[in-house]
Structures are given as structure tokens and as C-alpha cells.
Amino acid sequence: MKQAKDEVVAMCNTLRKKLLTDKQLLYLYNMVIIPKLEYRTQLTFLSRRECDNIIKPFRKLFKQKLHLATSIPNAILENRLIYNFRDFYELQLQSKISNFLLQINDKRLLGDITNIRIK
């Protein structure tokens, strides 16, 4: 969890001084930060609170760059019609479930090991 949070904080410190548009920030979040976080948290399951705590610095930076109040609800950012800011907790769940389905449906060694561990 600390490595994931440090990853986000380092990216925020880099982006803080840059002149970026909302679309550029959103692209960096969805295509750079989220895949890095998914890789870092492959073996650990994080609660909603932990995921929100990890993403909090970037949300704050995003709101500051847009000159929005930091007190506006995060649901505005996550709305698909406005910004489509992807929720890290939901992405983590989706990733873990899809990896589990791949493991359980594998016909080779990985599938056998997964079935043994389940039993």
C-alpha cells in the first residue's frame, strides 16, 4: 500500500508544476497511474478506504488544476458524462475477478494448482 501511495505522490509532485489540461490529466491518470497501481497491488486486496487514501493526492491535484473546490463530491469526477475518472477500487475488483477466472478456467498447471488450492 505504501509503494502504491508513493507512486501516486511522486506523479503528483511531477505534475504539480506542469501546465496541463483536464483531458491530459485524465489521460495520465487512466493510462499511466492506474496500470502502475494495478501492477503494484496484484497480490494484495485493498479496501475501499485504502484505495481512496491512495488516490486522494491525485484527486486533490486534479481539482486544483481545474480550479474547483476540493470539497466538491468525487461523484462529479467519476460521472461518465463529465470526466469518467475511473474508481480505483472498482478497477481493482474487476482485475482480481478476471485474473481469478483466468486461473480457474486454465486447462494446464495453473488451473490444476488453483483447483487444488480451492479444495
- Picking from 26, 23, 78, 28, the residue whose alpha carbon sits closest to that of residue 52 is 78
Domain range annotation of the chain: 2-87
pLDDT by residue (tens digit) across 80-101? 888 888 889 999 999 999 999 9
**Contact between 103 and 114 (Cβ < 8 Å):** yes
The whole-chain average pLDDT of the chain stands at 91
Q: Model's pTM, two decimal places?
A: 0.81
| All three cell numbers of 26 | 485524465
Residue 79 predicted with pLDDT over 90: no
Q: Which three cell numbers stand for residue 14?
A: 511531477
Name the residue among 36, 37, 31 with its Cα closest to residue 52: 37
pLDDT the model gives residue 78: 85
pLDDT at 55 over 90: yes
